[in-house]
Structure 1
Amino acid sequence: MSKDISQHDDAADAPDVEKQPVPETEGVGDTSREKDPNIVDWDGPDDPANPMNWSSAKKLAAIGIVSIISFTYVTNGPFASTVISPASADVMKTFHSTNETLGAFVTTVYLLGYVFGPLVIAPLSELYGRAILYNICNFIFLIFNIACALANNLGALIVFRLLAGIAASCAITLGPGTVADMTPVEKRGLAMVGLYMGPLVGPTFAPLAASYLAEAKGWRWIFWLISILAGVVWVAAMLFIHESYAYVILKWKTKRLRKETGNQQLRSALHTGNTPGELFKISIVRPLKMLFLSPIVFLMSLYMAIVYGYLYLLFTTYPRVFQGQYGFSNGTVGLAYLGSGIGTFIGLVFCGATLDRLLVYLTKRNGGIAKPEYRLPVMAIGALFIPLALFMYGWTAEKKEHWILPIIGTGFLGIGMFTIFMPCATYLVDAFTLYAASVTAASTVLRSLLGALLPLAGGKMYDALGVGWGTSLLGFIAVAFIPMPFILWTFGERIRESRFSQVKF
């Protein structure tokens, strides 16, 4: 896969958040570097300290905990980001506000944290590693969710939600890098499915629990529930997430050997002499450069952002459709979220069964060289489901057909969302393996920004166009994106290797 990496660093190939050994190789340095007795590297290809050589149980525990963190409060529609949606009316009533846009903002402001958080978390993990960032952000998230439960005015609630979102962005920013640290390319698709299972399935089941909890105990208990879960996750992460970032592991090993041997000339195989300040400056601008200067990153991120925005837009309008039109109570409105949840689960199973197998099959058919484009056939299926879902949801609701029909439409949206999101995310990690965290941060920034802002226009759009034509407008945009998987299948490699796609850092 090293031939597929299309990003290059001018700063003497400085190590960064994602710069671990290419997964297909076991060592770090080249032959000449390994001959230098002052270079600290892995102790051979079977070194147990190398995350690639960890036991399956240790890898599964690490990826599983990150997925659980994501389910509880991390990006792409996590539990915490959507759990307040069905109770937003009660929140506004508590604070004596009737502003519909502000009510939607209470839900979506959480996602603005994902716009700012990754840009800081990624470079900090470059300096201190992944594990410590997980633990610190978990604790900060816990504190600010307790603050949300105790908020005494709407402004404070919005600020606390924003700060909780910033902390929550950690797992989605570093998670793909954690997967790349320990998983070879031919197994990465299934590992990514496991990683994203929480953040993609969570938002559809969370409102169901929240709607009944808010009805029985009030909206503040939603945040107490999140805080309880966050406390459990914080403890589990400290116990089961070990440092997997090769740069930091070798840095620790170098410090230990210097102390034991007294040889101050020892240096890590991944160290190039850059100061922490220089590394921070390089890493903090990389995600934005990749987003705006790499056509592949921008197109993939834009597509995921639009699909993600659809999900949040529909979520914030569920009370209008299912309560106002179909007469659902505050509790039963949560059942409407099950459609997209079931669809997402179907998409999850499909991606888990096909992503890696398809990559292996196409690699064997094409000379044994794996390419990121081999993930795209699955995405082509999702591209067809999205417009079908939107047209079905909009017009069955507009015509007041049986309530199960728009819910089935959201089920198709769940299938389409997962079968687009997973190939896109895995494609980016495969294409930019050495920069997995930066490319994830880049896509997260755009996706979260659109996911936060698009729902704010939902109320006015549906007031002006109605449910049918309002949702159809989204459907027409989705139709325009149907050719994208086919275009990238044909021209993706050429675009990645073009001189116009080379980003200098």
Structure 2
Amino acid sequence: MGESLERKPTREEIIQLAFQEGHDADIPSNTGSIKDFEKDPINEKLSNLDFDKDIEKGAPDRSESLSSVEEADDAASQQDPNIVDWDGPDDPQNPMNWTFNKKWGTVILVSAITFLTPLASSMFAPGVPKVMETFGSTNDMLEGFMVSVYVLGFAFGPLIIAPLSEMYGRLPLYHSCNIFFIIFTIAAAVASNMSMFIVFRFFMGCFGGAPLVLGGGTIADLISQRQRGTAMVVWMMGPTIGPCVGPIIGGFLTQAKGWRWNFWFVAIVAGAFVIMSMIIMRETSAVVILKRKAARLQKETGNPKLRSKLDTGLSAQDLFKFAIFRPVKMLTRSWICFLMSLYVAITYSYLYVLFTTFTVVFETQYHWHGGVVGLSFLGLGIGSLLGQTVFTHWGNKTAAKHLERGDFRPEHRLYIMSIGGWFLPIGLFWYGWSVQAQAHYMVPIIGTSFIGFGLLMTFMPANTYLVDVFTVHAASAMAANTVLRSLCAALIPLSSQKMYAALGYGWGNSLLGFVALFLIPIPFLFIKYGERIRARSKVIL
């Protein structure tokens, strides 16, 4: 136990850290929860908000200084002797005080795992025709579903993984999910029929989603806010670039060793990561570390009243309720959450339409074979990387400008989306008609770079907007977005082959482009009316 007189976290710091950890701010994080903040006598003067109501309305201005109130509280209050805290600001048990090598070794390893599991989602895409041949299937729907079923697992796995990590810590979830990921990857490699293969792919996605759920929280546990931006950029490279790099590797691997070696390769690399994680990684969640410390001190002192300062007494039932029911309520009760999630879901599904059809398109139209087919995914990867770079620079620059002026609204995040959204239909038209005309292969690949750029320029601003709008419940809004996005990405590509067969590559991709054009007004709608919609809406969780 230790008495801490450190500066108390602000509301904004609690919300930001909770979101990075992957949960809402009324669930305890490394700095406590928003409920603790609001109950604190210090903060009663600053807020009388009811955070279970009107969650789209945002928060009032909290520009007044906290320093004088905090000083008065430090002088007047005494800490509860039954509260278990860190043993001072330099406590070595606090992950923030770990050595540089231990911290960044963990961050690099987590980032590597986060790169591998999205890479596995599309790595074997160039080998899909070989899989169909192996299992003796000619079903176009199954041909697409065997690739996209992986992201269906992304929709359901995290809903269970997130609350379990709050109860048992991040480390057990990393280890168990990584091991199950390897098991189902090997199972997919040795599958003897299509049904087995698809089921194993689904469970690969369920457990492969763990680093996407836990990684941001691990970085927030370890790295100070000043240095966290660099670590988050490295970590985010995995889900952004991994799915586009995977097919390039998979194309040559399929040619050299057969499609099953895509899965053996992933299993071998994942196995190496598991061994490294068991040696290097330690529990980083302050909530769990202090909970264990309190339990140990209870045994040593015989005092059953000892409890962690971060313990809010949430039951397993409450955690699962928040993880599962809140996102559903947001999708069904909030126009902002639903429309932005719908935009992201439809555009994200286009990525998997391309993943499931690139091999056939470039084999039939350009007579590419073997490992060279994987290079057809290069345009998507370059466009996605460029989109992330542009958004990070210009998106943050726009927000910073308005924050300096003091007139920032969440809708300012959508300015870059209103421009970026045009690149997606342009890329689809370009790609579709150039393939139809069998123009030089570089022409459609350049078109797919526009698609990748447009995807990131809609995907990232929309997510950031949801975070700014829902603040305390940002993680639930993102979970709602993820579920709808993953469902669409798994189901919409099922009809892609039939669409191309009926309409051709030109009109087939033009149909997707027209839908993307139809969605473009959504950010303009919220730029103009978003503040009014938030003021009038009432979303009760």
Sort the TM-score into its range (normalised by shorter chain).
0.7 to 0.9
- Checking the alignment, whether the CA contact within 8 Å between 1:189 and 1:355 is kept in structure 2 is no
Distance in structure 2 (CA, Å) of the matches to 1:28 and 1:142: 44
How far residue 438 of structure 1 moved from its aligned partner, in angstroms, is 3.4
Distance 1:467 1:332, change over 3 A: same
How far residue 407 of structure 1 moved from its aligned partner, in angstroms, is 0.5
> Residues 227-306 of structure 1: matches in 2 within 5 Å?
227-306=267-346
- Checking the alignment, whether the CA contact within 8 Å between 1:122 and 1:441 is kept in structure 2 is no
How far residue 227 of structure 1 moved from its aligned partner, in angstroms, is 0.5
> Residues 5-44 of structure 1: matches in 2 within 5 Å?
19-21=29-31, 30=40, 35-41=79-85
Answer yes or no: is 1:391 the counterpart of 2:429. yes
- Checking the alignment, whether the CA contact within 8 Å between 1:65 and 1:237 is kept in structure 2 is yes
Q: 1:381 aligns with which of 412, 419, 422?
A: 419
Distance 1:199 1:148, change over 3 A: same
- Checking the alignment, whether the CA contact within 8 Å between 2:28 and 2:311 is kept in structure 1 is no
> Residues 24-103 of structure 1: matches in 2 within 5 Å?
30=40, 35-41=79-85, 60-73=104-117, 78-103=118-143
How far residue 418 of structure 1 moved from its aligned partner, in angstroms, is 1.9
- Checking the alignment, whether the CA contact within 8 Å between 2:25 and 2:33 is kept in structure 1 is no
Instruction: Using the aligned pairs only, state the percent identity.
Output: 49
Q: CA offsets, 1:75-102, max 9 Å, x none?
A: xxx2111112110111111111111211
Q: CA offsets, 1:111-149, max 9 Å, x none?
A: 221122122112212211223212211110011111111
Answer yes or no: is 1:422 the counterpart of 2:460. yes
Answer yes or no: is 1:480 the counterpart of 2:490. no
Letter in 1 for 2:357: T
The SS at the match of 2:337 is helix
Tell me whether 177-186 or 420-429 shows the greater mean CA deviation: 177-186
Distance in structure 1 (CA, Å) of the matches to 2:26 and 2:290: 13
Distance in structure 1 (CA, Å) of the matches to 2:37 and 2:87: 9
> Residues 182-193 of structure 1: matches in 2 within 5 Å?
191-193=231-233
- Checking the alignment, whether the CA contact within 8 Å between 2:151 and 2:205 is kept in structure 1 is yes
How far residue 304 of structure 1 moved from its aligned partner, in angstroms, is 1.9
Letter in 2 for 1:343: G
Distance 1:313 1:353, change over 3 A: same
How far residue 199 of structure 1 moved from its aligned partner, in angstroms, is 1.5
> Residues 114-263 of structure 1: matches in 2 within 5 Å?
114-179=154-219, 191-263=231-303
> Residues 285-364 of structure 1: matches in 2 within 5 Å?
285-364=325-404
- Checking the alignment, whether the CA contact within 8 Å between 1:148 and 1:223 is kept in structure 2 is yes
Distance in structure 1 (CA, Å) of the matches to 2:218 and 2:524: 30
Distance in structure 2 (CA, Å) of the matches to 1:492 and 1:53: 42
The SS at the match of 1:401 is coil
Query: TM-score if structure 1 supplies the norm length?
Result: 0.86
Q: CA offsets, 1:30-86, max 9 Å, x none?
A: 46787322233456677665666767766654444333222211xxxx211111211
The SS at the match of 1:237 is helix
Q: 1:462 aligns with which of 483, 500, 518?
A: 500
- Checking the alignment, whether the CA contact within 8 Å between 2:331 and 2:337 is kept in structure 1 is yes
Residue in structure 1 matched with residue 442 of structure 2 by the alignment: 404
Q: Which runs of 5+ in 2 are unaligned?
A: 1-9, 17-22, 43-72
Residue in structure 1 matched with residue 149 of structure 2 by the alignment: 109
Tell me whether 339-348 or 236-245 shows the greater mean CA deviation: 236-245
Distance in structure 1 (CA, Å) of the matches to 2:296 and 2:401: 44
Distance in structure 2 (CA, Å) of the matches to 1:308 and 1:57: 37
Query: TM-score if structure 2 supplies the norm length?
Result: 0.81
RMSD: 3.4
Distance in structure 1 (CA, Å) of the matches to 2:310 and 2:320: 16
The SS at the match of 2:192 is coil
Residue in structure 1 matched with residue 476 of structure 2 by the alignment: 438
How far residue 384 of structure 1 moved from its aligned partner, in angstroms, is 2.0
- Checking the alignment, whether the CA contact within 8 Å between 1:71 and 1:202 is kept in structure 2 is yes
- Checking the alignment, whether the CA contact within 8 Å between 2:24 and 2:474 is kept in structure 1 is no
How far residue 459 of structure 1 moved from its aligned partner, in angstroms, is 0.8
Letter in 2 for 1:38: N
- Checking the alignment, whether the CA contact within 8 Å between 2:28 and 2:312 is kept in structure 1 is no
Distance in structure 2 (CA, Å) of the matches to 1:189 and 1:14: 20
Tell me whether 358-367 or 84-93 shows the greater mean CA deviation: 358-367
Tell me whether 146-155 or 298-307 shows the greater mean CA deviation: 298-307
Letter in 1 for 2:540: V
Distance in structure 2 (CA, Å) of the matches to 1:113 and 1:63: 24
Distance in structure 2 (CA, Å) of the matches to 1:186 and 1:15: 21
Distance in structure 2 (CA, Å) of the matches to 1:352 and 1:43: 38
Residue in structure 2 matched with residue 503 of structure 1 by the alignment: 540
Q: CA offsets, 1:250-295, max 9 Å, x none?
A: 3223223333443221222332334333433343322322333333
- Checking the alignment, whether the CA contact within 8 Å between 2:182 and 2:267 is kept in structure 1 is yes
Q: Which runs of 5+ in 1 are unaligned?
A: 7-12
How far residue 216 of structure 1 moved from its aligned partner, in angstroms, is 1.5
How far residue 205 of structure 1 moved from its aligned partner, in angstroms, is 1.6
Distance in structure 2 (CA, Å) of the matches to 1:412 and 1:373: 24
Distance in structure 2 (CA, Å) of the matches to 1:193 and 1:109: 27
Distance 1:377 1:22, change over 3 A: farther
Distance in structure 1 (CA, Å) of the matches to 2:101 and 2:347: 34
Distance in structure 2 (CA, Å) of the matches to 1:453 and 1:262: 56
Distance 1:278 1:241, change over 3 A: same
- Checking the alignment, whether the CA contact within 8 Å between 1:258 and 1:264 is kept in structure 2 is yes
Q: Which of 1 and 2 has greater Rg? A: 2
> Residues 362-377 of structure 1: matches in 2 within 5 Å?
362-366=402-406, 372-377=410-415
Distance in structure 2 (CA, Å) of the matches to 1:104 and 1:325: 19
How far residue 188 of structure 1 moved from its aligned partner, in angstroms, is 6.6
- Checking the alignment, whether the CA contact within 8 Å between 1:21 and 1:28 is kept in structure 2 is no
Distance in structure 1 (CA, Å) of the matches to 2:446 and 2:238: 22
Distance in structure 2 (CA, Å) of the matches to 1:409 and 1:194: 27
Q: CA offsets, 1:175-201, max 9 Å, x none?
A: 344455567888776654433211221
Aligned length: 491
How far residue 170 of structure 1 moved from its aligned partner, in angstroms, is 1.5
The SS at the match of 1:331 is helix
